[in-house]
A = this chain, B = another copy of it.
Amino acid sequence: MAKPYFPGNVPGIKMAMAVTPEQAAKIIKKAERRILVAGAQLEEVEQAINLADGAIVAAPDTVRQFKEKGASPVVMNKVSITNLLRDASSWKGLDGKGSYDLAIYMGSPYYFESQMLSCLKHFSSCKTIAVSRFYQPNATYSFDNLSEKKWKEALTDLVKFVEE
């Protein structure tokens, strides 16, 4: 079974299902309304855009890059968007059209993202999938720990499968 990248970071009971790019793509495509949540450290802006289905929240640090690539994300730090998502039942989404059932998390410091995912795990009906390099036990689904190279490939594959 997948292990948290930092071994101490075992939440105990409920741990993310580790998924391959193919499985991840299925999960993403099956979602009714998904939202992509990108953190301040995100470098893979293009992939993020391609994974999203319109709804993108980008940390202010990376908005420029998103815009340069033609996307128009909502600017919000990860804490704030997570705070909205935990209120899944009453928050009407970025477009006011309803709640999300899947959030794709990427691009933040490992331990920080872990706490955000933990919030949603416990307090939200919105499922989460973590597609950064390291296994995030507090997500619903997560990539396993991967080498830099393998992860880049996985991300490329994921985008490909999602677009298929």
Residue in B closest to A2 when the chains form the complex, CB atoms:
B1
Give complex CA distance A12, B13 in Å: 8
> How many copies of this chain does one complex carry?
2
Let me know if A13 and B13 touch, CB within 8 A: no
Residue in B closest to A7 when the chains form the complex, CB atoms:
B13
Q: Which residues of the other chain, B, contact A13 by a CB distance below 8 angstroms?
A: 7-8, 10
Interface centre among A1, A7, A10 (most CB of B within 10 A): A10
Q: Which residues of the other chain, B, contact A7 by a CB distance below 8 angstroms?
A: 13
Q: Which residues of the other chain, B, contact A10 by a CB distance below 8 angstroms?
A: 10, 12-13
Give complex CA distance A12, B137 in Å: 12
Q: Which residues of the other chain, B, contact A12 by a CB distance below 8 angstroms?
A: 10, 12
0/1 interface trace, chain A 1-35, chain B, CB 8 Å (1 if under): 10000011010110000000000000000000000
Give complex CA distance A8, B12 in Å: 8
Give complex CA distance A12, B3 in Å: 11
Q: What is the minimal beta-carbon distance from A138 to any residue of chain B, in angstroms?
A: 14
Residue in B closest to A14 when the chains form the complex, CB atoms:
B7
Give complex CA distance A52, B80 in Å: 60
Q: Which residues of the other chain, B, contact A1 by a CB distance below 8 angstroms?
A: 1
Pairs A–B under 8 Å by Cβ, sample size 7 = A1-B1, A7-B13, A8-B13, A10-B10, A10-B12, A10-B13, A12-B12
